Amino acid sequence: MSGSLSRPTRRGFLGGAGALSFALMSGGGVAVIGRSVEAQSLNGGQINAWVTITPDDRMTIMYGGAEMGQGANTALPMIVAEELDADWSTVSTEQVGNDLDGVYGNPSIGGILYTAGSYTVEGYFNGLRQAGAQARQILRQIAAAHWNVPVAEVTTRQGTLLHNATGRTMRYGEVAALVQPDMPVEAVADEDLKPRSEWTIIGTDVDRLDIPDKTTGATRYSIDVDVPDMVYAVQLLAPVEGEAPTINSDAAARAIDGVLDVMALPNSVAVLARSFWAAVAGREALDVSWTETSPFRTADSEAELQNLTTAADDPNADVVVWESRGDGGEDYSAGNVITAHYTTEHVYHAQMEPLNVVASVDEDGLGAEIWIGTQSQTVSVAIAAAVLGTTPDRIRLNAMQMGGAFGRRTWFAREMLRDALILSRAAGRPVKLVWTREDDVKQGWLRAATVQRFDAILGENGALEALRHRVAAPSTFQFVQPDRWNPEVRTDPLIMEGSESRDYDIPEFRAEHIQAPRVSRLSAWRGIGWGPVCFGRECFIDELAEQAGSDPVSFRRRLLSNSPRGLGVFDAVVAMSDFGNAPEGRAHGIAFAGYKSSYASGVAEVSYEGERLRVHRFWAAVDPGLAIHPQSYLSQVEGGILFGLSSVLAERSSFTAGQIDQNNFYDYEPIRMYDVPEIEVQIIDSDNPPSGGGEIGVPMAAPAIANAVRALTGAAPNRLPFPRRT
């Protein structure tokens, strides 16, 4: 088990007289701290822990992941509750805001609080099982000591301790008054964890803990936060990245009722006011000019795509090899090489909740309380500490649920949180900084554009003998994580993940990244690299099947012959959809496109209604290993398919002279309700470890739809979004 789920800490925010708390230790044990009123005083107050049980039988389970609608605040506690043998009806949860002692970090992402890439359940699974099992062991020890019986004779059942020989029982809550501080327990061996046959919580659709409050509107997002003495701020942001403002006149802005101050920041001018609308009115009244010296002033998205195409076709291009199999002796300049290009344009995240943050800097300027919906509490705390020139223990972060994220709320704190803290420190009061939808569209951190070139060689028997997959794109990783970028290695998982094609049996294979200069802000988008690269690869596989005189199913089954899990989802979706037997006037398209350790295949059924492409049905078979909460997993797969469909039909961010052309949802248009197809998802349980579901629907959607268009019209679109049919 990773050391990032480590030692107990005395800092935190869970408390209450008589509570019983557990914290996982680096040596594999669990420290237990029970608190009567006297013990609470002795320990100096509150304690961070994975589990807290109070005498009224309420159980609070902490979770380190971020909740953005995917159900992390249910799935992660389910893992603990299962091994703890808890009564789920007594469970509530709380998200970790800061992790000063490295207790709660995700082992899959360097032991920090960071939620992205569908790593959450996969990363926390083993450690949280240990935490729950060891907490249960402590409860048994306490009960055994109280009853003066051997620990081996004490069992549990859904929140109750039992001694069958004497018929005695005790609810978990009753233990809080019995325990003494710092009672350790030996590590639980893997073989002592509950066998899957005894699970009553994991793998079931227990009630999601966030749904009731979301249904009634009681859930608080950071945009709902209102603290005493708070003022609002909006920004007139630089129209082009890298430019600084000059305030020619702010007199008209200051004259507006409710406006309190106008401040120049590194890339904006901020207006502070008693209300959001007064701040907006003040911004509209500003007279500001910009330096107009940014190199991005010449950036044009269509020119970028042309440059990427040129780079992809350059035989002497500087390439970074991402994956290589075989001896590399193939000649891709020979006459028998099949070549194709696929393009994906920039897209914007389009999360429903506008970006916002509330910051309240302490009087000494060296601490702050923050309310923020963030995909990384660790990143946000580090940014806040750096801005204030302080240490992380001075930052009190309230991690809020998010109204959508999809990669947008990972690194936005680098600029937005910075500005909110600067404004709060200057104003001497809490500041709520809000971006309008237009602000976010114009300042979007976009999914990188790509041009992919494929070169393939087929053998005499029609088998795919060699494939080179080139991806020309700027580096997203270099922009979002410059401190972790290695200029000597230059590998970028945010662009290249998914291009490995390891489940396909291809004797000679090579995936290459041609890194072009960045001409826009970049960020990971749902599906990360897998979305674009699987679109290109799976469309090209259909082309190769035709060239080989085969069909899309037979050709892929041959390629998947050494991948039992891959073949399992592929055959399942073929059967689900009755592939190839679409109703008259419609056609089917198929794609094999998993995500990391998850396997998936999708089939789309399409037709044209005039010039409008209509996706009528979509089938998906997914093998996530273990689905912790199946209904949540299904919802995530469905959401990912719709995300992919939206990138096919309409979503596009373009820019001219360094400025994004789109403004709001009227010209950056996600799919509407009438575009939503009937979706059927089958989860295939392969008894493997769990993997995430937030991204897996995206990579299969676009290529399945494109291949259906090929079957319908004889030609597949090779660019996302698809051009309108003329």
Domains of the chain: 20-215 (3.30.365.10), 223-292+355-434 (3.30.365.10), 301-347+446-720 (3.30.365.10)
Name 316's Cβ contacts closer than 8 Å, sequence gap at least 6. none
For the segment 88-96, the average pLDDT, to the nearest whole number, is 94
Model confidence at 217: pLDDT above 60 = yes
How far apart CA 245 and CA 541 sit, in angstroms, is 50
pLDDT at 2: 32
pLDDT on residue 22: 55
> Is residue 58's pLDDT more than 50?
yes
Work out the average pLDDT over 626-651.
Answer: 96
Give yes or no for residue 289 having a pLDDT over 90: yes
pLDDT of residue 191: 87
Quickly state the pLDDT bin for 685 (edges 50, 70, 90): confident
**What is the reported pLDDT for 182?**
61
CA distance 259 to 193: 60
Task: With both helix axes pointing from N to C terminus, report the angle between 697-713 and 530-547 in degrees, rounded to the nearest 10.
Answer: 30
Per-residue pLDDT tens over the stretch 16-41: 335 556 554 333 334 444 433 333 22
- CB atoms inside a 10 Å sphere around CB 539: 26
In one-letter notation, the amino acid at residue 172 is: Y
**pLDDT band for position 15 (cuts 50, 70, 90):** very low
Task: Give yes or no for a contact between 216 and 344, defined as CB atoms under 8 angstroms apart.
Answer: no
| pLDDT tens readout for residues 340-362 | 999 999 999 999 999 999 999 99
- Average pLDDT of 7-13? 31
Q: What pLDDT sits at residue 641?
A: 98
Is residue 643 a contact partner of residue 701, using CB atoms and an 8 Å limit? yes
Is residue 659's pLDDT more than 80?
Answer: yes
Q: What local confidence, expressed as pLDDT, does residue 26 receive?
A: 33
Amino acid at 171: R
Check residue 180 and give its pLDDT.
63
Q: Where are the beta strands (DSSP E) in 19-111?
A: 20-24, 30-34, 51-53, 59-63, 91-95
**What own/partner pairs with CB < 8 Å and gap ≥ 24 does 546-551 have?**
547/338, 547/458, 548/458, 548/462, 548/463, 548/464, 549/462, 550/462, 551/580
Q: Are 71 and 210 in contact (CB under 8 A)?
A: yes
- pLDDT above 50 for 11: no
Helices (H), 458-529: 476-480, 493-496
Mean pLDDT, the chain, rounded, equals 91
Q: Which pLDDT belongs to residue 50?
A: 82
- Among 188-197, 220-229, 674-683, 696-705, which is the least confidently predicted range? 188-197
Name, in order, each residue with C-beta under 8 angstroms of 689's C-beta and a sequence gap of 6 or more.
122, 125, 597, 625, 626
* Residue 406: pLDDT over 50: yes
User: Can you give the pLDDT at residue 175?
Assistant: 83
DSSP-derived 3-state class of residue 417: helix
Asked whether the predicted pLDDT for residue 3 surpasses 60, the reply is no
Stronger pLDDT, 180 or 316, i.e. the higher one:
316
What's the pLDDT at 42?
A: 19
Whether residue 4 has pLDDT greater than 80: no
Asked if pLDDT for residue 54 goes beyond 90, the answer is no
Cα–Cα distances (Å) from 450 to 338, 344, 471, 516, 653, in that order, read 20, 5, 7, 10, 13
Q: Which residue has the higher pLDDT, 140 or 551?
A: 551
Nearest 10 degrees: CA dihedral of 401, 407, 410, 412?
Answer: -100
Lowest mean pLDDT among 11-25, 151-165, 337-351, 399-413: 11-25
With beta carbons less than 8 A apart as the criterion, state whether 431 and 312 touch: no
CB atoms within 10 A of CB 315: 6
pLDDT at 674 over 50: yes
Q: Position of tokens 């506690």?
A: 77
Q: Which of 146-150, 325-329, 495-499, 525-529 has the lowest mean pLDDT?
A: 325-329
pLDDT band at 434 (very low <50, low <70, confident <90, very high): very high
Residue 317, pLDDT above cutoff 80: yes
Work out the percent of the chain whose per-residue pLDDT is above 70: 92
Structure confidence at residue 530 (pLDDT): 97
pLDDT band at 192 (very low <50, low <70, confident <90, very high): confident
Write the burial class of residue 364 (CB in 10 Å: 0-12 exposed, 13-18 middle, 19+ buried): exposed
Structure tokens at 472: 């020309």
C-beta separation of 393 from 364 below 8 A: no
Mean pLDDT of 166-176: 91
Q: What is the band of 328 on the pLDDT scale with cuts at 50, 70, 90? A: confident
- Residue 185, pLDDT score: 65
Angle of CA points 640, 659, 252, to nearest 5°: 115
> Is the predicted pLDDT of residue 370 greater than 60, yes or no?
yes
- Residue where the block lists tokens 């007139």: 236
Q: What was the pLDDT predicted at 176?
A: 74
Candidate from 46-60, 357-371, 587-601 with smallest mean pLDDT: 46-60
pLDDT at residue 671 tops 50: yes
